Amino acid sequence: MLNDPQESGRRLVVPRGCFSCGRAFPVQDALDLAIRGTSFAFDPEKGRLWIICRGCRSWMLVPIEDRWEVLEELERRTLAEGRVIGATDHVSLVLLDDLEVVRIGSAPAQEAAFWRYGRRMVRRHVVRERSRRRALAWESLAHLFTVGLPPSPAAQVGAASMGLLRWWKLGGSAWDRPPGCARCGAEAPRVRLTRSRSLRFRPGVDGSLEVHLPCGRCGDPEGAGASLKSVEGQHVLRRVLAYHNFYGATRAGVDAALQCIEEAGSSQRYLEEVGRSGPALGELPLKSRLALEMALHDQIDRSLRTLELRDLEGRWLEEERLARIIDRELT
């Protein structure tokens, strides 16, 4: 797993592979340096550099004589270009192009990870648009061979196929067993995706959004209806938003949605604003629906990242003790 001095005509920084599982580190192009790997950890203050194995998550300490150029470029680019997706007081998780970088020390920038889901929205739009065009071509050919004429411009060619694709991916209902009405006890109907535009949101006790279901017997007076809270509410809300935002959005649409979150200050504050206003889903414009889905996924990802960051911080403390011994800093 050591260097091959003939490879690429350049001297490669060791190690080339994981000492624990034997997995070879992939060649990366994001850094203008001859170092392998796509996941790194570094401490700019103490001059430590590790390559993290994506397979077994082991940390490989780079020899001290091979660190400095890589450390300088990582520090410069993470501060200038990196996107912080999670941070504690001692560890920051940063995305830099295709690299995953763990920076030891205070966070280099304000944490803002909701943009990642915006990129998924754009990809979703590209994929759905490609599928729609294929459906348009096939349905036009079928119409031409059966009727003998091309479809009229007013015909909804391709819409049926895309509607079938949405049903196949998401099904017909978001929740099959909603609770009973808080006022009369009547069981609320199933939350059907096709009729979910009337759903309303309200802030929950734990800061998450609750989904309010109107009662079919006593209407929607004060205190009536049922609420899906916490995990149940998030599950329904995610499915409903995925249904209504099925076709994604263009880059301009995603940018408008991101601006809504940025103006609120954070994903959590945007969710709180939506909950306080209490709108029905059908009353929200497209950019607000997109922003709501992005903010909701960001909150879920954030809770998972918190666990990951705690694990990274504990792992860094262990590796730092070994690095001090290897670098002969202990007496």
Q: To 5 degrees, how large is the angle CA 308–CA 314–CA 316?
A: 100
* DSSP category for residue 121: H
Please give the Cα distance from 103 to 86 (Å, whole number): 11
What is the model's pLDDT at position 247?
80
- Which pLDDT score is estimated for 218? 72
Listed residue (264, 321, 318, 251) closest to 292, CA to CA: 264
Q: pTM of the entire structure?
A: 0.62
Q: Which residues pair with 100 in a beta bridge?
A: 39, 95
Counting as low any pLDDT under 50, the low residues of the chain are 1-12, 153-155, 157, 330-331
Q: In what helix (H) or strand (E) does residue 85 lie, and over which residues does it extend?
A: strand 83-87
- Which two structure tokens, joined as six digits, stand for 221? 């007076």
How high is the pLDDT of residue 68? 87
CA separation for the pair 103, 98 (Å, rounded): 16
Cβ–Cβ < 8 Å for 302, 267: yes
Q: Please tell me the distance from the alpha carbon of residue 159 to that of residue 58, in angstroms, as a whole number.
A: 49
> Could you tell me which of 163, 157, 271 has the C-alpha nearest to residue 210?
271
Length reported for the chain: 331
Task: Quote the pLDDT of residue 331.
Answer: 40
Tokens of 329: 């800093």
Q: What pLDDT does residue 253 have?
A: 85
